[in-house]
Amino acid sequence: MHFSGRKTDFYKQEFENMLEGIIDVETCDRFNDIDDFMDGMTDDYSTNTKNIPHKKTKIFDFISKGFKKRVLSLRKDIYDSGIPKRPTDIIIFTDGFSFSATSLFIKGFQKTGGAITVGFNGNPTLSNDLFDASQSPTNAKNFNISSEYYNLFLVGYFIVGISASETFSYNYKNKNAIPLEYDFDPIDERVDIYNEYSDDIYQTFIDKGKEIFKRYNQDKKCNKKNKRLLFDPNDGKTCYNFQDDKYAHGGYEYGEHGYWNEGVCKKYYCDFGYYYDLYEGKCKIDLCSQNENKMKK
């Protein structure tokens, strides 16, 4: 996920001492200084009756280059183990009540087609309602170095967190991009579990998960409303080579008939040292890894 903040003195003050821990997503390097960080673009959300400019910081990531390299190393270890997971091998259960880090986690999987999302709880009388898988994928800060925080604390108010940074997928490259906070990303499936969670019903989740796993894999069924989720044959040859992009690999797309369309392959991941840019629809060099290794997957 990618972040930006509103270009204000308040935001500048909060992030001035955090620059060492964030990177510019366009270069994977640290920002030169706070003014470089604040020098972002201006979106225009104006209407016929109101002028609404939105000045923001440059697009940034909270994960450092060093941490990204450690994740890449872990990813290579998983690949070498021979047990990498396909998107349809991963199931995320959610009741929709997720915000901040957990919402970013779920939205991240959904935007890249990385897992099947399954809803539980909710209103039993609306069992076909495919609710939003999470809420508020936004970085929160308490701004505890500000005078406002201190003044509120003196009169008995303790700020835990305030939505502070907008988040984007690869749509941040769009003109006047809409933050993920306003995106509706419905679950793929709904199961009839309405109990408050406890370890006593853990087996129920396992059983439901097995049913869904079978439906999407062995039975080759799909959610035709989810165009991001693909079925990867995972045989190293089917949907594995694309003439227009030698670093890309993929899987079968959804079919309107409710089954995976085995006649159409789409990209969704790239060789090591590259990443799949959803905005441009192709693999691009991963500057954070400096293209050190071209191993697969």
What integer pLDDT is reported at residue 171 of this predicted model? 83
What integer pLDDT is reported at residue 295 of this predicted model? 40
What integer pLDDT is reported at residue 125 of this predicted model? 85
Structural domain count, the chain? 1
User: Is residue 292 one of the residues assigned to a domain?
Assistant: yes
What integer pLDDT is reported at residue 72 of this predicted model? 87
User: Is residue 286 one of the residues assigned to a domain?
Assistant: yes
User: Is residue 160 one of the residues assigned to a domain?
Assistant: no
User: Could you tell me the pTM of the whole model?
Assistant: 0.88
What integer pLDDT is reported at residue 292 of this predicted model? 44
User: Is residue 220 one of the residues assigned to a domain?
Assistant: no
User: Is residue 252 one of the residues assigned to a domain?
Assistant: yes
What integer pLDDT is reported at residue 139 of this predicted model? 87
User: Is residue 19 one of the residues assigned to a domain?
Assistant: no
Alpha-carbon span 127 to 121, nearest angstrom: 9
Neighbours of 178 (CB within 10 A): 14
Query: Residue 277: which domain range?
Result: 65-86+231-297
Alpha-carbon span 191 to 124, nearest angstrom: 10
User: Is residue 71 one of the residues assigned to a domain?
Assistant: yes
Neighbours of 121 (CB within 10 A): 18
* pLDDT tens-place values along the chain, 297 residues long: 899 999 988 889 888 888 888 999 989 999 999 999 999 999 999 999 999 999 999 999 988 888 888 888 888 898 888 878 899 999 999 999 988 899 999 999 999 999 999 999 988 888 788 999 999 999 888 888 888 899 999 999 999 888 889 999 888 888 889 999 999 999 999 999 998 788 999 999 999 999 999 999 999 999 999 999 999 999 989 999 999 999 999 999 999 999 999 999 999 999 998 999 988 999 999 988 874 444 444
User: Is residue 57 one of the residues assigned to a domain?
Assistant: no
